[in-house]
Amino acid sequence: MVSLHSLLVFDTDPAVHRDILDILARTGCSIQDVYDSREALDVLRHQPCDIVVAGQGHNGHNEDFRLLRKVRALRPEARVILAGDHDPARVVRAIRERAYSYFHKPIPAAPLTDIVQQAFETGEWRDDIRVVSASPQWTTLEVRCKLAAAERTAQFVRELLVGLPPGYCEDIAAAFRELLMNGIEHGGRSNPSKRVRAALLRTSRSILGHIADPGKGFSMDLLPHAAISNPEGSPTRHLEAREEQGRRPGGFGILMARNLVDELIYNERGNAALFVKYLK
């Protein structure tokens, strides 16, 4: 079956260019590739495009950001995924300039294909993630209450965790994602008019995450739909409660997050969570 989706790849590095093409060939979409940003713009002037994957350019030049701004003007509906150095400053800039996602090189195959597939399926997205403030030690975002926005935010968080061992990075990003999705789904009721405030902090000895949702909160003693409340000997009781309440399968978020980090606490109302992962 021929895909109706279209994708444009731009990267001046032949090796990276080939790697991206090899990864994206698995999506089954129509792919065009160019090695020059001017050629990329010429393609976009003559035909629509769903997704643009743009590399950084030679010698650290910011051709990807220049292309991003021009794509926004020519094809504002196109999702632009940037690929470049492992640099938190570039990640923050990518969020501010409304890139759909960001990956450092070498690009991991499965996460890129997942983000591309999500991008094809996502409706309006351009204002889903906002930067409230950003410094090397403290980044605060506002995330629209949409599950797709949580997935995008989790990828940006992975890229912000520059220099950490892979195990630490994945544990922190996964815990951040689970708590963010809880805030969106339960606190914000998946209402896209509402937002969750999410912060990632870095000290010399730890990484902290803070998620505050717009909901009324909850009591940890009144969560029959969450795995953390299962009675001893009944590890799936919460799944029955979720089915009775008409909820989607799941309910492992808090339990997963607690097992991935060193400390997890909630505020009195239950609408804000703080986690700590110590760097040993």
CA distance 219 to 268: 9
Say how many CA atoms lie within 13 Å of 23 toward its Cβ. Answer: 22
Instruction: Report the predicted TM-score, pTM, of the whole model to 2 decimal places.
Output: 0.86
Residue 163 has what pLDDT?
Answer: 86
Structural domain that includes position 229: 127-280
Phi, then psi, of 3 in degrees rounded to 5: -75, 145
Other CB atoms within 10 A of residue 22 CB? 10
Whether residue 60 is found in the same domain as residue 143: no
Residue in the block written with tokens 């912060």: 199
pLDDT of residue 280: 83
Phi, psi of 174 (to 5 degrees): -70, -40
CATH of the domain at 86: 3.40.50.2300
Q: Which of 100, 123, 146 is the last residue of a domain?
A: 123
Same domain, 99 and 156: no
Final residue in a domain of this structure, among 84, 103, 123: 123
Give the count of alpha carbons within 13 A of 11, CB side only: 21
Check which CATH number belongs to the domain holding 156 and give it: 3.30.565.10
Q: What is the pLDDT of residues 164-187, one digit of tens each?
A: 988 899 999 999 999 999 999 999
Q: Which are the contacts of 116, defined by CB distance < 8 A and separation ≥ 6?
A: 7, 24, 27, 29, 51, 53, 81
Average pLDDT value for residue range 104-115 = 92
Total number of domains in the chain: 2
